[in-house]
Structure 1
Amino acid sequence: MGDRELRVSDAEREHVGQLLQRAVGLGMLSLGEFTERMDTALAAKTRGELNAVLIDLPGIRLVGPSTFGHAAPLMHSASPFTERGPVAPVAGRAPATPSHVIRSRLSGVNRRGPWQVAPSLQTNNWLSGVTLDFTEAIMSTQVVELHVDDYCSSLTLIVPAEATVDLNALDLIGSSVNNKVRTGPPFGPLHLVVLGRLRFGSVTAKHPLSAHWRKLMGR
């Protein structure tokens, strides 16, 4: 059996997805091309199928031992295209080690009700819709840091009436932000600080619908 017929793992598919993501950021692929190739990568079963989505990208070559154990080599880059590594949420500042990671691919994610909120959260979503509802959440700290590393995804943050949300440190690439909540300083039950990078997506911070009704009725 040749290298091209070997089966690939989820880790290899995700690695190729990161390469495609960086290719878009460098202007090598359009958003439509990224979507098509990402679909192919997620459905790939063999190394040949997975490598096919990278074959025409400059700076990509086959290297020696695979990063993923003893399997055959995977398409990898010999240029800064991949050596840049993960993008830091804020220049010169490394994120705290998150105790909760929200990761999705082509999915919808909802966190509602009395869910446990760690002091530091991280999202890593591609082509997904994510809603984090903090109105009934159980929080261990007043200040919560949310480190975003999302692509082509929408992020909706629903916070209690007296909460504050700071979106000023979020790095946007072809994305939009809609903050309907006070920025700060923190004085209520929650101060949510959103850091990181959002590519071709959107972030909305708002109060629950019931809070708007109470405001309209003067309560």
Structure 2
Amino acid sequence: MSDCTPARDLRVSHAEREHVAELLARQLAAGRLTPDEYTGRLGVANAAVTRADLNSVLIDLPGARLSPDIADDVLTIAGRVGDLQRSGHWVVPATVAVSTWVGNVRLDFTEARFTTTDVTVDLNVGAGNVDLVLPPGATVDLDQVRAGIGLINDRTAPAAERGTPHIEVVGSTRCGTITVKHSTRPRPYHPSGGWLR
């Protein structure tokens, strides 16, 4: 993602898809959608990649719109030249969008406070390596991320089931290696609400 990306082309999170599914259910209950229309639109919403995809199933429904509180649950970490880093105590929303032309990226989630159990990390890196450090118990999905010239190294411990938090990495680095590993430090407990929320 970059500063000039139109809002309609921004990638959506699980929370946004779930919000639209709830809106569609209300429209079905109100009689504005037939069961077949509801099923078709729900399929589009669940497969949505961008905000335009989500808005397409709501555009003709009065009072149904994407909630700004959910749609804006994005942390943008951007630069042009130079390294980008987050570590220590920081708040992780549903989507972390990282954009840089040249520079390495390191996101250390060990001591972070997550606002949701599912997080999307959206990479738009020109040239540079990406290091993601996960807290113990977290899992990662690397199926939708690409490294043009470079490797994708998953050094996390194998998990039999989805962990908490679960981080989906999407986007790409055009020239660089993406490495994901678990922290060797224990994840601290946050008195204000545990590790999540």
What interval of TM-score do these two structures reach, taking the shorter chain for normalisation? 0.5 to 0.7
Deviation of 1:197 (Å) = 2.3
Post-superposition shift, 1:149? Answer: 1.2
The alpha carbon displacement at 1:95 in A equals 4.2
Q: C-alpha distance in 1, partners of 2:100/2:140? A: 20
* 1:107-152 C-alpha deviation (Å, 9 max, x unpaired): 1222111101011111111211111011100101111011111111
Scaled by the length of structure 1, the TM-score of the pair is: 0.51
Contact 1:102/1:123 (CA < 8 Å) preserved in 2?
yes
Alignment-derived partner of residue 160 in structure 1: 135
- Deviation at residue 162 of structure 1 after TM alignment: 1.2
Q: Which has the higher contact order (CA 8 A, sep 6+)?
A: 2
Task: Output the amino acid matched with 1:193.
Answer: E
DSSP 3-state at the match of 2:79? strand
Match of 1:94 among 49, 70, 74: 49
Whether 2:173 is the aligned partner of 1:198: answer yes
1:197-216 aligned within 5 A: 197-210=172-185
Unpaired runs of at least 5, structure 2: 13-46, 52-70, 187-197
User: Is 1:125 aligned with 2:100?
Assistant: yes
Deviates more, 1:201-210 or 1:124-133: 201-210
Q: Which amino acid aligns with 1:94?
A: V
Greater Rg over alpha carbons, structure: 1
- Aligned residue for 1:167, secondary structure, equals strand
2:148 aligned residue: 173
Distance 2:11 2:74 in 1: 17
Equivalents in 2 of 1:88, 1:190: separation in Å? 20
2:78 aligned with 1:103, yes or no? Answer: yes
Asked if the contact 1:165/1:183 (under 8 Å) is kept, the reply is: no
8 A contact 2:10–2:50 mirrored in 1:
no
Unaligned runs of 5+ in 1: 1-10, 16-85, 212-219
Aligned identity (percent) is 25
Cα 1:103–1:186 shift into 2, 3 Å: same
TM-score by length of 2: 0.56
Give the total of aligned pairs. Answer: 127
Superposition pairs of residues 42-121 of structure 1, within 5 angstroms: 93-95=48-50, 97=71, 99-121=74-96
CA distance in 2, matches of 1:143, 1:205: 16
Task: Give the CA RMSD over aligned residues.
Answer: 2.9
Deviation of 1:87 (Å): 10
One-letter amino acid of the structure 1 residue matched with residue 86 of structure 2? R
- What is the CA–CA distance in structure 2 between the aligned matches of 1:183 and 1:93, rounded to whole Å? 28
Give the 3-state SS of the residue equivalent to 1:168 in structure 2.
strand
